[in-house]
Structure 1
Amino acid sequence: MTRTPLRPLARILSARQKGENPDVIERENIRLRHEEMREKARQRAEGRLVVLALLFFCIFGVVGGRMATLASSEPAEPTAKASTSRIVAQRADIVDRSGRILATNLRTHSLYAQPPHMVEPEKAARALAKIFPDLDEARLIKDFTGSRKFLWVKKKISPEQKQLVHQIGEPGLLFGPREMRLYPNGKLAAHILGGYGFGREGVYAAEVIGTAGVEKAFDDFLRDPAEQGRPLELSLDLTVQAAVERVLFGGMRLMNAKGATAVIMDVHTGEIVSMASLPDFDPNNRPLPLIEGDRADDPLFNRAVQGVYELGSTFKIITAAQGMQLGLVNAHTELDSQSPLVWGKFRIREWNNKNFGPKLSVTDMIVNSSNVATANLAMMIGQQRQRAFFSELGFFDPTPVELVEAPGAKPLLPKNWSEIVTITTSYGHGMSASPLHLATAYASLLNGGYRVKPTLLKRQGPLLGERVVSEEVSRAARDMLRQVVTRGTATFAEVPGYKVGGKTGTADKPNPRGGYYEDKVIATFAGVFPADAPQYVVVVTLDEPVETSGSKPRRTAGWTAVPVAAEIIRRTAPLLGLRPEIEAATLDELQLTKSR
């Protein structure tokens, strides 16, 4: 910037020549300079005022906009306290195939304490111990009078408990909103639903996460906001499940069994309509797992999926079906049944040392449950082909059902599939599988011969896999199982109005110390109904049953598992929409009545 001098030399010399006063020029320049400085100061002040005005306008605009947003929004509790990430507490419902609630959410409260704000901590501890008997009064007093600034008292409390705590009047006892999982049917379908727990927790919210069953298997789906609360639809039927559990519990008590399980599966879709395991638990108050003792005694243990047992003679129809599929035999082919069958140092005998004579047809082999005839058929099939067929039916892998417990329940297979293993496996000894494995195999054999995949999700229409046996073999197998009920080892399975087919299986229970128990068995009945047009398979397994109504205790499946299965079918078939078939009376049974 060029600065003008106050006494410019040219003007001073010119003024002196003219006789003027040079000081006037200096005073004029000083005045002009001061005016220029005042003008710059004024412009600078005006600019600052404009900027300040714009700043205030923006601030009031933001505040006003925020106030408008809050005024137009719905009031809601904050989801977290001083948290950098939002805790999502909402969880979708779980419903049965008809939309009935199996698991839902309940708004409740948590109780926490801030000891520095407490007025009478010892009095508050005594009052809380009376409201919540499971709390330790001495521990509460220690926590309340110590150096802690925050502690949880109860993660969830009822409205009545909240009111009682509120009446204590202690300012250091505070409540936070909490969402919890509610299973309104109590123990019903407990092993399928599993249970829940809390993940990340804050004062104002907590993550509800699955800990077992479908709650954990579908945890991401149930917590996904993108699903907008769409419920998880299971294949279960609530009324059928209730009937099965009631009958199974009564049968377990009546047969003096230590445990029991039952599965009902749609043969065309693989949908599990009902799956029960006893003893059970209440998922609203899920117990801790057993640390010692037999794992099967744990109420959390799902016998239908996690229990792997030798399922005995229920495997014989699988051997018969493979033999017919390979063209080695048909339903009328006679097999050597002379007992005992000697193989090396082993002697294969019939149950109770029976002898069915030198020959039995394949049908009579199933009806009479002949170990010897089945063993001879297995040797005709051979090791490699038997092993491949069992693998095709799913016996070599865990069941693919949608439970987190399923992958760990792999069948127990012999290390070396020798010929003697081929013999014993043909009638259900030497390998162990779960009742759900058996139900899946029966569904695949009896639905026309198509393999199905077990599922707990509701499906629309049949979903069949590759063919495992022909339609003719499937029909012949159903006819054999029907004859087992009409004239074989499962006559107690007959249900008036419904044609039931099935096979019994009684296997000695392995002793953990080696060998087998002499007086403990696993009794199983695997059946299909209606046998002429199959819709459902049912598998019932009892652990250590003994029927004591006679002079001697009876443990075979025909006396224990079969009556329980028959009662399950009688109760559930109408619930499943199956009409009973009423057989027409003969002319001899008709009575002439006199009309008025």
Structure 2
Amino acid sequence: MIRIPLRPLARILSARAAGDNPDRIEHENRVLRNDALRDRARARAEGRLLMLGLAFVLAFGAIGVRMAVLAGTDPVEPQAAASGAAILAQRADITDRNGRLMATNLLTNALYAQPKDMVDPARAAAALATIFPDLDASDLERRFTDGRSFLWLRRVMSPEQVQAVHDIGDPGLLFGPREMRLYPNGHLAAHVLGGASFGAEGVHSAEVIGTAGVEKALDARLRDPGQVGTPLALSLDLTVQAATEEVLAAGMKMMNAKAATAVLMDVHNGEVLALVSLPDFDPNDRPLPLASGDAADSPLFNRAVQGVYELGSTFKIFAVSQAMELGLVTPESMVDAKAPMYWGKFKISEFENHNYGPLLSVTDVIVKSSNIGAAHIAMMIGGLRQQAFLKALGLFDATPVELIEAPGARPIVPANWSEIVTITAAYGHGVAASPLHLAAAYAAIANGGLAVP
């Protein structure tokens, strides 16, 4: 920048020659210089104010945009970042044959804590113990303050419990979304459905896996992403199932029985319309298996499928039907029914020592449920043919029903099929099978001898 002198020599000389005061020239130049400096300072200040104003506009504009975005979204709890493979949480519904819902999914929340982010652990522990009576306030406070960074508190919660935890207002209490399995009919068809629980889980999701019954047997189908939207339809009819359970429970109470079971099948296609085992349970709150003692004492035990029993006189129909099929007897044929019957060292008697002999028609062998008559018919058939017939009815193998318990419930068959086994098997002793085996075998006879698996 060129600096103009306050007293230029040429002007001073000219002013003196003209008789003017040279100091006036210095004063004018000083005023001009100050005006120029002031103008430059003002220009710099205006530029800085413009830049500062622009910065404020941009900052407040960004804040406004962010507030608008937040205002337009649903509020959610902060969640821990997901790590590893995604957890498959979806599961298909289950319906009866008429499309009535038997199992579905319910959106809920899990509760976990990050103690290092908690503001008042003691207050939070006391409030949580009030909301969840099974939690101990002192134990919670100890765990909140022992240095850990993560703590599961509840896997599932009701909407009321979620709101109550929200009201505590502690930033260290966080929620994780969950889909839990819901059985809207409670106890109805509990042993068929079985139940479900959580498998792999994280704070962001948890997979639902089958633990028993059809839920476990068809777990892969229910969790298949390609079929999640298509309900799994069972052969059960909920109306028939409910009526069967009601009638069976009344009979169980009237007889003061320990347990009861029933199976209803369509003999033409083998479909199970109702399958009941009492006592039962609510799959929404599935009890734990017994840690000791007889598993059959647990309400989880499915007597229709897992219970293997000597089924007694119900087997007599097999001996008679086979003998008729072989042409050995007709309904009017007379057979020896004199009691008791001796076979080697074994004595065979009728119930309450009745004696229906000396002869009974084949029809009356069934009507009177004669052990002796059934034994003589079995001897006409012979052991080898008897075994083949019972095996053809499925009484030697596990039932193919789609329940996870079925493969483990195989009939108990003697290794050596002697003559005395041939006799006792005719009236249901020496061979043990499940009520479902019996229903399937009877269905084959009712279906004209055609067994439908």
Question: Is the structural similarity TM-score above 0.5?
Answer: yes
Distance in structure 2 (CA, Å) of the matches to 1:76 and 1:188:
38
* Partner deviation per Cα, 1:492-530 (whole Å, 9 max, x = no partner): xxxxxxxxxxxxxxxxxxxxxxxxxxxxxxxxxxxxxxx
Q: How does 1:218-257 map to 2 (within 5 A)?
A: 218-257=218-257
Give the Cα separation in 2 of the matches to 1:410 and 1:80: 48
State the Cα distance separating 1:83 from its structure 2 match: 2.1
Q: Distance in 1 between matches of 2:431 and 2:190?
A: 28
1:284 paired with 2:249, answer: no
The residue aligned with 1:340 is 340
- For 1:399 and 1:348, locate their aligned partners in 2 and report how far apart those are by CA, in whole Å: 31
The residue that corresponds to 2:177 in the other structure is 177
Q: How far does residue 222 in structure 1 lie from its aligned partner after superposition? A: 0.8
Work out whether residues 93 and 230 of structure 1, in 8 Å CA contact, stay in contact via their aligned partners in 2: yes
Q: How does 1:289-308 map to 2 (within 5 A)?
A: 289-308=289-308
Structure 1 Cα separation of the partners of residues 291 and 410 of structure 2: 22
| In structure 1, distance between residues paired with 2:357 and 2:89 | 69
Find the counterpart in structure 2 of residue 135 from structure 1. 135
Return the alpha-carbon distance in structure 2 between the equivalents of residues 317 and 350 of structure 1. 16
Pairwise mapping of residues 410-449 of structure 1 onto structure 2 (< 5 A)? 410-449=410-449
Distance in 2, matches of 1:228 and 1:263, equals 29
Q: Distance in 1 between matches of 2:240 and 2:384?
A: 40
Aligned match of 2:215? 215
Q: 1:408 to 1:228 in 2, by over 3 A?
A: closer
SS of the equivalent of 2:309 reads coil
Render the CA deviation track for 1:326-382: whole Å, top value 9, x for unaligned: 111111111011111110111111111111121111111111111111101111111
Shift of 1:85: 1.6
Amino acid paired to 1:264? L
Q: Which amino acid aligns with 1:355?
A: N
| Contact 1:80-1:205 within 8 A present in 2 as well | no
Residue type at the aligned position of 2:334? E
Matched, 1:409 2:370: no
Residue 96 of structure 2 contacts residue 237 of structure 2 at CA under 8 Å; is this kept in 1? yes
Q: 1:441 to 1:75 in 2, by over 3 A?
A: farther
Q: Unaligned 5+ residue runs, structure 2?
A: 1-68
In structure 2, the CA distance between the partners of 1:228 and 1:301, relative to structure 1 (3 Å rule), is: closer
The answer to whether the Cα contact below 8 Å between 2:312 and 2:429 also exists between their aligned partners in 1 is yes
Which one-letter code corresponds to 1:178 in the other structure?
Answer: R
* Residue identity matched to 2:427: Y
State the Cα deviation string for residues 25-63 of structure 1 (Å, max 9, x = none).
xxxxxxxxxxxxxxxxxxxxxxxxxxxxxxxxxxxxxxx
Q: Which ranges in structure 1 are unaligned for 5 or more consecutive residues?
A: 1-69, 454-596
Residue 81 of structure 1, CA deviation:
3.3
Q: Equivalent residue of 2:208, what SS?
A: strand
Taking the aligned partners of 2:322 and 2:268, their CA distance within structure 1 comes to 20
Q: Residue 402 of structure 1 aligns to which amino acid in structure 2?
A: E
Query: SS state of the match for residue 225, structure 1?
Result: coil
In the aligned structure 2, how far is the partner of 1:188 from the partner of 1:224?
26
User: Is residue 423 of structure 2 the alignment partner of residue 451 of structure 1?
Assistant: no
Say if 2:306 and 2:408, in contact at 8 Å, map to a contact too. Answer: yes
2:102 is aligned to: 102
Deviations 1:470-490 (CA, angstroms, capped at 9, x unpaired): xxxxxxxxxxxxxxxxxxxxx
- Structure 1: how far apart are the matches of 2:200 and 2:349? 61
Aligned positions, number: 381
Q: Which moved more, 1:95-104 or 1:225-234?
A: 225-234
Counterpart-to-counterpart distance in 1, 2:79 and 2:263: 42
* 2-structure distance, mates of 1:230, 1:75: 29
Question: In 2, Cα distance between the equivalents of 1:383 and 1:327?
Answer: 17
Q: Report what 1:161 is aligned to.
A: 161
- Cα pair 2:213 2:404 within 8 Å, conserved: yes
Aligned residues of 1:350 and 1:371 also touching (Cα < 8 A): yes
CA contact (8 A) 1:196 1:215 kept: yes
Letter paired with 2:282: D
Q: Structure 1 residues 80, 103: closer, same or farther in 2, change over 3 A? A: farther
Give the distance between the partners of 2:234 and 2:171, measured in 1 at CA. 46
Task: Indicate the residue corresponding to 1:399 in structure 2.
Answer: 399
Q: Which residue of 2 aligns with 1:113?
A: 113
Tell whether the 8 Å contact from 1:80 to 1:87 is kept in structure 2 after alignment: no
**In 2, distance between residues paired with 1:79 and 1:374?**
71
Residue in 1 aligned with 2:24?
A: none
Q: Is 1:410–1:433's contact at 8 Å kept on the other side of the alignment?
A: yes
Q: C-alpha deviations, 1:118-160, integer Å up to 9, x for none? A: 1111221111111111123232122101111001100110110
**For the residues of structure 2 that align with 1:156 and 1:253, how far apart are their CA atoms?**
36
Distance 2:277 2:147 in 1: 48
User: What is the alpha-carbon distance in structure 2 between the residues aligned to residue 248 and residue 136 of structure 1?
Assistant: 42
- Residue 185 of structure 1 aligns with an amino acid whose one-letter code is N
1:7-406 correspondence to structure 2 within 5 Å: 81-406=81-406
Deviations 1:269-292 (A, max 9, x none): 111000010111110011100122
Name the % identity: 65
- Partners of 1:116 and 1:184 lie apart in 2 by 40
**SS of equivalent residue, structure 1 residue 369:** coil
Task: Give the alignment's TM-score, normalised by structure 2.
Answer: 0.82
* Cα offsets for 1:416-462 (capped at 9, x unmatched): 11100110010011111100000000000111110111xxxxxxxxx
* Cα distance in 2, alignment partners of residues 336 and 310 from structure 1: 24
Q: Write the distance in 2 (CA, Å) between the matches of 1:392 and 1:407.
A: 18
The aligned amino acid for 2:401 is: V
Q: Which amino acid aligns with 2:308?
A: V
- 1:467-482 correspondence runs (5 A): none
Shift, 1:198, TM fit: 0.8
* 8 Å CA contact retained: 2:82, 2:204: no
Where 2:363 maps in the other structure, the secondary structure is helix
| CA distance in structure 1 between the aligned counterparts of 2:186 and 2:79, rounded to whole angstroms | 29
In structure 2, C-alpha distance between the alignment counterparts of 1:394 and 1:327, rounded to whole Å: 22
Instruction: Tell me the amino acid that sits aligned with residue 220 of structure 1.
Output: A
RMSD between superposed Cα atoms in Å: 1.8
Instruction: Measure how far apart 1:294 and its partner are.
Output: 2.0
Structure 1 residue 75, shift from structure 2 partner: 9.4
Please say if residues 80 and 86 of structure 1, whose CA atoms lie closer than 8 Å, have aligned partners that are also in contact: no
In 1, distance between residues paired with 2:243 and 2:433? 26
Instruction: Supply the distance in 1 between the matched residues of 2:207 and 2:274 (Cα, whole angstroms).
Output: 30
AA at the equivalent of 2:386: Q
CA contact (8 A) 2:79 2:176 kept: no
Q: How far is 1:76 from its partner?
A: 12
Higher alpha-carbon Rg: 2
Task: Give 1:277's aligned amino acid.
Answer: S
